[in-house]
Structure 1
Amino acid sequence: MSQSQSTREENTSNAHPATPHNAQQRKAAMQKPAGGIISPEELAIRWLKQPYPPTPQQSAVISAPPQGSYIVVAGAGAGKTETMAARVVWLVANGFVLPEHVLGLTFTRKAANELGQRIRGRLETLARSGFRDQLQADDPRHEALRNISPAVSTYDSYAGNIVGEYGLLAPVEPSGRIISDAEKWMITRQLLIDHDRELTTSRSMNRMIEFIHTLSEEMDNHLADLKDVRGETEALIDTFQQVEHGVGKPLSLKAYELRDANQERLDLLPWIPKYWERLKELDVRTFGQQMTLAAKLASEHPIVGQSQRERFRVVMLDEYQDTSHAQRVLLRSLFGDGQDDELAVTAVGDPMQAIYGFRGATSSNLGNFEADFPFRGQPAQKLELTTSWRNPASVLDLANVVSSRTLGNNRTVSELKPREGADDGDIQVAFFDEEDQELEWLTDQLQQRWESFKKRKEAAAVSGEKIDPFSAAVLVRKNKEALPIFELLRAKGVPVELTGGAGLLDIPEVADVYATLRALVDPEDDPAMLRLLTGPRFNLAARDLQILARRAQQLQRRAKGDTDPGEMNQAADSTATSTGAEDPWIHNPAYEELKSLESPLREQLLDAIPNPADATVGLADAIADFADAEEQGMSPQGTRAIAELSRELGHLRRNCLTKPLPDLIADIEDMIGIRTEVLTRWHRNPDDSIGTSHLDKFAEIVQDFSRLVGSNASALVDYLRAAHEHDAGLEPGEVEAKTDTVQILTVHRSKGLEWDIVAVPYAHRKNFYDAEAPGITIDRWISKAELLPSSLRGDAETEGEPGGYPIYDISHAEKSVDLTNAAEAFRAQLLATEAQESERLFYVGITRTERVLLVSGAAYRPGNDTALDPSLNLVLLKNRITDARAPLPGASVHTWSDLGRTPSKKDAARVEKGKATEIDHYLYPTAEQLTAREDYAATRHTSAAEEQASWPQPAPLASRPGAAEGASMVVDALGAATTGDPASQSTANQDMLTRQWDEETRLLIQEHQQRTLTAVEVPLDPMLTATQAVAMNQDPEQFARRRRRPIPMQPQPYAKRGTAFHNWVEQHYNQAMLFDEDEMPGASDATLQDPQLEELKNKFLGSEWAQRTPESVEGSYLVNIGGFVFNGRMDAVFHEGDDPAAGWLVVDWKTGQMPTGRDMRNAELQLAAYRLAWAKILSRQLGVEVPVDNVRTAFFYVRTQHTHYVQDLPNEEELIARLGLDKS
């Protein structure tokens, strides 16, 4: 067993259920071995040759009796994957089970791959160890170790197997295809368009789609049917009506709001069966529907459970705290309820890592396991894993402080302990006055550590010393929090990546393309027009924008036949600004997009947009019909700007809107010159520039969306807007920890991953809230029609299951106040429940680190006058670090502001009466702190009032590369402008204008040269795939042109066929090929009935490779070659022999013809990169240098069944030279 108990994510194979053996075979396999029981320690040291034996806790789990039910509570980084794999190996080695009778379930493909590889790898090691030599000839373990095929899969994949095998019992069509979120969104949108006359709601298209998807998913997760939802909703409405009739007067406004939400659910409920019927017509289903079908099949048809229990005798359930109610019913019906006392069922989970309630997970499942899976009339046995192999000692100390506060007296797991020899760690916590200060400090910390790493790397290159790669992550609560940090890190020259959906549409260059697309599709989209008009290209002044707005209002009145000839003249002289947003703005998308801006600027912008209550004419209409703009008072610069923008939008609208979506996006990029701007953008360290990678990522998303039936520009805009509004991001797939970059992602996305350096910013009380946090809106279903009534949830609190989800009970209400009081009590209970999940989320964040932990917050956010307290958990961390009675090694408080929320009069009166709560003890300010807060707020308010709103809005441009230099120029110019000397002011303005023209001229000339010169030069991104490197070597000019302006290629049948074949091979090797909830559909959908694909499959099945077991299938890699980060996937990696550092073979499947000559030599360079990548991966995993010659490579040409082994591949230096990377 590895001392580090590494939880690294590897891409390995897993298996679908195997053919069941008969009862006699199973009984023979389950008998006690003649030679006595092999202990976990003997198995690890003697037979598996592991350097360390398991800990006593691990040994207890591994050697638990072969029949029984066990709940293993495993803390963060406690080596659960290794322990689960070791238990399976122990059961097989002792003859208690055959590998094909083992079922392992987890949530992600990545986790399934890792568990499957560990089980197979350990069993293969056991088979090669000489273990079989001591067995009798007829011992079934001989066959067990020759045919190693445990079934390791995801919960969703296993549910799909159940539906596929038993679906006709329901009856449902077993072959229904699973769809992605994007395709689901498109199907629902088309449904609403087809039935638009039946729409009687004021909800927008996107909000209707949200209603249908959310309620349908809630019903799936909790196995609620339409009849129950309708009945419960009608009962609630009846109660409201009875109370109103009983009191004889109108209810309170709050009571009406609650009643109306239920009425809306009832009115819109008929759309749910319409949606289901449409999915059925298309023979598709969602993951939620598939899980529901599987749960119903298991609970309503006993033959399903009987068959599965015959097939699987050992069941391992991973991350059980994240299972939904439907998954609980499925697993309990199949393997629980005491139906088979010979089963061995082991669930592993951590109550402190239950953070997916918003996705339907029910954290109470972990506590209910003991009753759901009894053994011989007794509750399941509970075991623990509490040694963390990941975290430093001081980090664990802080994590225990958080968990003790969250779990309280209901602690179901002991405190975590550090591994023997663990370092203390490097911990800093901080709370600042202003968020800007917090982010500056945080990014400075990361910059310093990155620069330190580069110096150590340079020294290691000279000395030959081996150093660990740079590994860092910033974990945010919400995707929208990622962009400011990204911009600051990029400005400081730190390589940074937005990972897992964090803020792609907010990246400046992508936001410009997105805004142009929105303006094309919807001329009334004023926020998009504002983005274009006030951005760096046009930089329209505030006064010009107000004049343009008045023009839009004039056109609006003209459309209504109510015009005033003098209104534009009045508008030209007007300098009035709005004093605030009226009611029509409250739920308007424009206000939502602008509300984060500072108050004076926000009011100026809102004044420039037509009132949403009656606007049918937008700013786009105004710029298209404003020939006399200069006569109406607009500046010459403003007049030229709106004329240019009008011309561009007109050209795109006339000539490009009907083009394929990828071509439309390429035309937009070309028209606004955004790629040229990005490629020529100043960067402090060009080697760390990410170039056009975000534009490329956006283009890929558009390409994927364009494959969907019915996709067009309008649908694309709606889809992107929905993703942006719901903070869902756009990055598909599972997240992997990477090196040599700072990854920014949400805490939810980080679960299961680890980094050397971890930062958790924005740790204020609104983000990580507690049960008494003010201003937290937790209404849930009582005011949201799309959510399931709480009484219908599978985890609802009952007498049999206390501590479940709170229920809104108004069955005994007689007065209006009873309804309101019940709602307030429900909200308080719900806030307490959700606050626990928020606290657990904080715990997950701080336990991702292997060495450095930075946790910070700030009292004031930009544009917000309300101060925030630090989160309760941040205060707990600070208190523990500053506890002089027990100093915490390696931990310090960088700074701690006295600022925070000023208590309300109600809170102050309560505390004065001696009714302070436990949380008040930590967060209620002292008299000195109150004075400091009042003084700072007054000073801050005065300073803000004296400032004029800057235009255009400086953030996020203020943090762009080169901003400091630009700001200095502006300050100099402003200094000249305020001297009162017209001459100096004119000179300064002229100098600035001259510099601006010089820069624009330089860029235009450079762009023209790039288009006309034979040689095309573009800066290379530091991240390449092997295919890109080979393409660059093969045709550098064509590669450069495509990198400068990627033009999507027309999808070809052979390309789709190749993708489909690779997916099928992965399935053949028993890797579940599933779409994650946020993945877009792949290219394989259109090739399912391709006869040539079937021929390729048959050819493969007849080859030697179909019978071999790979160590890795579609394994991802990320390695540094010649200063470039190569990333991608290798089709398959095989291993021969007992030496883990030798005997490796990388095979690449080829569905086309075998090339010759120069083409073959170029293709072989791809294998050279794979070979080098695998050698580097092995070196990192084994801790020793693995020679690249220990890895062989081959192409397998499927059509001819020919394996082409490639000899004499270049080493790393030769490969760098061959690819020209030494000249890049």
Structure 2
Amino acid sequence: MSAQDPAAPTGTSLDEQILAGLDPEQREVATTLRGPVCVLAGAGTGKTRAITHRIAYGIATGVYTPQKVLALTFTARAANEMRNRLRSLGAAGVQTRTFHAAALRQLQYFWPQAVGGPLPGLVEHKARLITEAAQNMRLSTDRAAVRDLAAEIEWAKVSMLTPDTYPARAAGRDMPLGYEVRTVQRLYQSYEELKTDRHLIDFEDVLLLTVAVLEEDERVAATVREQYRHFVVDEYQDVSPLQQRLLDAWLGGRQDVCVVGDASQTIYSFTGATSRHLLEFPRRHPQARVIKLVRDYRSTPQVVETANRLLAARRPGAGSTPGAWATPLHLEAQRPDGPRPSWNEYPDDEAEAAGTAARIKDLVDDGVPAAEIAVLFRTNGQSQAFESALAEAGIGFQLRGTERFFNRPEVKQAVVQLRTAARAAEASDDPVRLVRDILSSLGYSDRAPRSTGAVRERWESLAALVSLADRMAAEATARDEEFTLPDLAAELERRVTQQDAPVMDGVTLASLHSAKGLEWDAVFLAGLSEGLVPIGFAETDDEIDEERRLLYVGITRAREHLVLSWTLSRTPGGRPSRRPSRFLDALREPDIPRRAPRRSRPVRAHS
């Protein structure tokens, strides 16, 4: 039986079945049920498998009570995945939530007794209030400026800085639009005053207020600590100081916590996330059990070796912050050999997009599903060329990292219409045909539009709902059951509640940041030129290190096919002034030239 084979011999006890198929290190994680535990887990090493089996094993052996376990992660998608895995392991009832979701639930429950009165309304998007505050100060209010100002305020709040304490810590930071620190401070103050006047709180306030209630009300703290006795924190390298303080408040000095992370995947420092808590965990908890997961089950040896070389090539700079770079985990590939990474140099961005689309068509023709292919780039602005090239080639695609799926206007409309139709549906109706008929009025057609932009995004959203209906119908047929429109409506209700977006059938276009936590059979890393990777505004040694980690995350998303490309110029006919990313030199195998030949047409340096 392979290390990742979930099958277990019949006749074994439940706890033995749970441990079956785990490799030695995963088994150590699963059987170390008392904290503190620190799991250093490299990309593709089965960390989610290890921690879900740990929880399930703890429940099966009677050490854990399901309702007293709180498993924390950073995205609703990751929480849903963990919840589904636990359910399949017979461990239903465990609370699996993001930090914000767990805090909001507690705040809603305890607010009346701890504070009194109704809980303030929640601001889901800061843009409106920040725009108003900026206009009151006669500052620029275009969308990009507002987004950057919102990010700076979020950084300040997760770093637990008030408007009064912000200037001292912000000194030396790059301010949005080059504003003075004092200007941003005044805007931060104005934003907070607008929220107070309108009885509103934002997502950072949810964490801050929960911390305040737990630290100031002993009765509430005692109730919460009695409710939750065991904690698991996934992606621990991404916690902010505020999230760490909330975790400390939940623990109340207890030690039953298992943290899981990889310092080499720390890519959100600009949001206030820091790997310091992960790196210092053994020092904060001297009795901690430290377990390393390095067996990579996701990627081929060729991809794994490329990732290892990237991290191994890093050298500390004179300005590197001591301790900010952890010794990387050296991954050990467990999959059979695959193709060597491909290297492609193009004369310009348009040629790169066309060449990438052609390679993708080859892969699809060879049997690789479009949904198992991704094009990753450093900035969202790079997506347009690939959208156009894929549309021209007749290849479906989806944009990741844009508005949340169920918040899109066309999806909201579709869900309402499908619910209404479900109530009126008759047994003789063909639900799959009915879904297509309903969504066609909103812009769906069986043929994808060749255009890009809003029309294409709308179609992709509706197509995802059609695919969900098709998949549910096929699964029902396989079980010899009937699929109905109310079944679809109920599934959509669940997904809306859990923000569990359906998988779209098409090539994924995404920034490197938004690709975190995902994986595909084939990954195209595009735009690997100086000024993009590393990004031009990354100037300090620590910032360059973060860019290296970002590329590492991109590489480790690939299971089998990895294609790296760069361009010599932005536009056709432009002066070839771009240089390949400095990171690429460390990635080339000995028989690959250090620089690809520079010609007027695409050149595949190696495949």
Counterpart position of 2:266: 354
Counterpart position of 1:450: 364
Aligned: 1:476 with 2:377:
yes
Counterpart position of 2:80: 113
Counterpart position of 1:251: none
Q: Counterparts in 2 of 1:310-321, with a 5 A limit?
A: 310-321=226-237
The residue type equivalent to 1:403 in the other structure is L
The 1-side partners of 2:357 and 2:287 are apart by 50
The residue type equivalent to 2:401 in the other structure is G
The 2-side partners of 1:230 and 1:450 are apart by 53
Residue 765 and residue 188 in structure 1: after superposition, are their counterparts in 2 closer, same or farther (change >3 A)? closer
Aligned: 1:872 with 2:587:
no
Residue 171 and residue 452 in structure 1: after superposition, are their counterparts in 2 closer, same or farther (change >3 A)? same
The 2-side partners of 1:866 and 1:173 are apart by 64
Pick from 192, 204, 209 the counterpart of residue 293 of structure 1.
Answer: 209
C-alpha displacement of 1:186: 2.4
The 1-side partners of 2:210 and 2:301 are apart by 44
The 1-side partners of 2:232 and 2:370 are apart by 34
Residue 232 and residue 761 in structure 1: after superposition, are their counterparts in 2 closer, same or farther (change >3 A)? closer
- Mark the runs of 5 or more structure 1 residues left unpaired by the alignment: 7-39, 125-147, 238-256, 455-467, 503-677, 681-685, 702-732, 771-775, 779-827, 885-891, 900-935, 941-1224
SS of residue in 2 equivalent to 1:226: coil
C-alpha displacement of 1:440: 3.2
C-alpha displacement of 1:298: 3.8
C-alpha displacement of 1:862: 1.5
Residue 261 and residue 427 in structure 1: after superposition, are their counterparts in 2 closer, same or farther (change >3 A)? closer
Aligned: 1:766 with 2:531:
yes
C-alpha displacement of 1:225: 1.7
C-alpha displacement of 1:3: 5.6
The 1-side partners of 2:74 and 2:315 are apart by 25
Residue 287 and residue 866 in structure 1: after superposition, are their counterparts in 2 closer, same or farther (change >3 A)? farther
The 1-side partners of 2:134 and 2:70 are apart by 42
Aligned: 1:897 with 2:596:
yes
The 1-side partners of 2:500 and 2:367 are apart by 24
- Alpha-carbon contact 2:18-2:89 (below 8 Å) kept: no
Pick from 216, 236, 247 the counterpart of residue 153 of structure 2.
Answer: 216
SS of residue in 2 equivalent to 1:103: strand
- Alpha-carbon contact 2:529-2:567 (below 8 Å) kept: yes
C-alpha displacement of 1:57: 0.4
The 1-side partners of 2:202 and 2:41 are apart by 31
Counterpart position of 2:27: 59
* CA deviation string 1:1098-1128 (max 9, x = no partner): xxxxxxxxxxxxxxxxxxxxxxxxxxxxxxx
Residue 493 and residue 287 in structure 1: after superposition, are their counterparts in 2 closer, same or farther (change >3 A)? same
Q: Counterparts in 2 of 1:934-949, with a 5 A limit?
A: none
SS of residue in 2 equivalent to 1:361: coil
C-alpha displacement of 1:494: 2.2
* CA deviation string 1:519-553 (max 9, x = no partner): xxxxxxxxxxxxxxxxxxxxxxxxxxxxxxxxxxx
The 2-side partners of 1:167 and 1:80 are apart by 35
* CA deviation string 1:16-60 (max 9, x = no partner): xxxxxxxxxxxxxxxxxxxxxxxx999996536579521110111
C-alpha displacement of 1:501: 2.7
Q: Counterparts in 2 of 1:21-170, with a 5 A limit?
A: 46-47=13-14, 49=17, 52-64=20-32, 66-123=33-90, 148-167=92-111
- Alpha-carbon contact 1:2-1:50 (below 8 Å) kept: no
Counterpart position of 1:228: 165
The 2-side partners of 1:273 and 1:179 are apart by 16
C-alpha displacement of 1:296: 3.5
- Alpha-carbon contact 1:495-1:689 (below 8 Å) kept: no
Pick from 531, 537, 556 the counterpart of residue 847 of structure 1.
Answer: 556
Which region of structure 1 is more displaced relative to structure 2, 346-355 or 400-409?
Answer: 400-409
- Alpha-carbon contact 1:736-1:753 (below 8 Å) kept: no
The 2-side partners of 1:283 and 1:149 are apart by 34
Counterpart position of 1:1174: none
Pick from 505, 516, 520 the counterpart of residue 751 of structure 1.
Answer: 516
The 2-side partners of 1:499 and 1:483 are apart by 13
- Alpha-carbon contact 1:471-1:738 (below 8 Å) kept: no
Q: Counterparts in 2 of 1:777-816, with a 5 A limit?
A: 777-778=537-538
- Alpha-carbon contact 2:130-2:146 (below 8 Å) kept: yes
- Alpha-carbon contact 1:470-1:739 (below 8 Å) kept: yes
Residue 369 and residue 80 in structure 1: after superposition, are their counterparts in 2 closer, same or farther (change >3 A)? same
- Alpha-carbon contact 1:499-1:735 (below 8 Å) kept: no
C-alpha displacement of 1:172: 7.5
The 1-side partners of 2:361 and 2:73 are apart by 37
- Alpha-carbon contact 1:4-1:390 (below 8 Å) kept: no
- Alpha-carbon contact 1:180-1:286 (below 8 Å) kept: yes
Pick from 256, 267, 291 the counterpart of residue 383 of structure 1.
Answer: 291
Residue 51 and residue 311 in structure 1: after superposition, are their counterparts in 2 closer, same or farther (change >3 A)? closer
Aligned: 1:429 with 2:128:
no
Q: Counterparts in 2 of 1:450-849, with a 5 A limit?
A: 450-453=364-367, 471-501=372-402, 687=447, 689=449, 694-695=454-455, 697=457, 738=503, 740-769=505-534, 776-778=536-538, 831-849=540-558
Counterpart position of 1:1059: none
Counterpart position of 1:1194: none
The 2-side partners of 1:765 and 1:740 are apart by 33
TM-score (norm 1): 0.38
SS of residue in 2 equivalent to 1:501: coil
C-alpha displacement of 1:117: 2.1
Counterpart position of 2:333: 418
The residue type equivalent to 1:746 in the other structure is S
- Alpha-carbon contact 2:364-2:370 (below 8 Å) kept: no
The residue type equivalent to 1:322 in the other structure is D
SS of residue in 1 equivalent to 2:376: strand
The residue type equivalent to 1:748 in the other structure is H
The 2-side partners of 1:203 and 1:417 are apart by 51
- Alpha-carbon contact 1:73-1:348 (below 8 Å) kept: yes
Residue 106 and residue 482 in structure 1: after superposition, are their counterparts in 2 closer, same or farther (change >3 A)? same
The 1-side partners of 2:370 and 2:399 are apart by 19
The structure number with the bigger radius of gyration is 1
The residue type equivalent to 1:349 in the other structure is G
Residue 116 and residue 401 in structure 1: after superposition, are their counterparts in 2 closer, same or farther (change >3 A)? same
The 2-side partners of 1:44 and 1:477 are apart by 51
C-alpha displacement of 1:268: 5.6
C-alpha displacement of 1:299: 4.4
Residue 487 and residue 171 in structure 1: after superposition, are their counterparts in 2 closer, same or farther (change >3 A)? same
Indicate the percent of aligned positions where both proteins have the same amino acid: 23
The 1-side partners of 2:211 and 2:586 are apart by 42
SS of residue in 2 equivalent to 1:453: coil
- Alpha-carbon contact 1:351-1:363 (below 8 Å) kept: yes
Which structure ranks higher in relative contact order (CA pairs < 8 Å, sequence separation ≥ 6)? Answer: 2
Residue 857 and residue 208 in structure 1: after superposition, are their counterparts in 2 closer, same or farther (change >3 A)? closer
The residue type equivalent to 1:491 in the other structure is E
The residue type equivalent to 1:229 in the other structure is Y
C-alpha displacement of 1:209: 4.2
SS of residue in 2 equivalent to 1:867: coil
C-alpha displacement of 1:699: 11
The residue type equivalent to 1:287 in the other structure is F
Q: Counterparts in 2 of 1:924-943, with a 5 A limit?
A: none
- Alpha-carbon contact 1:501-1:745 (below 8 Å) kept: no
Q: Counterparts in 2 of 1:727-1126, with a 5 A limit?
A: 738=503, 740-769=505-534, 776-778=536-538, 831-862=540-571, 865=575, 867-878=577-588, 881=589, 883=590, 896-897=595-596
- Alpha-carbon contact 1:433-1:897 (below 8 Å) kept: no
* CA deviation string 1:255-297 (max 9, x = no partner): xx99x968x4325634433322322343332111212222333
Task: State the aligned residue count.
Answer: 516
SS of residue in 1 equivalent to 2:560: strand
The 1-side partners of 2:329 and 2:42 are apart by 9
The 2-side partners of 1:44 and 1:690 are apart by 56
- Alpha-carbon contact 2:237-2:263 (below 8 Å) kept: yes
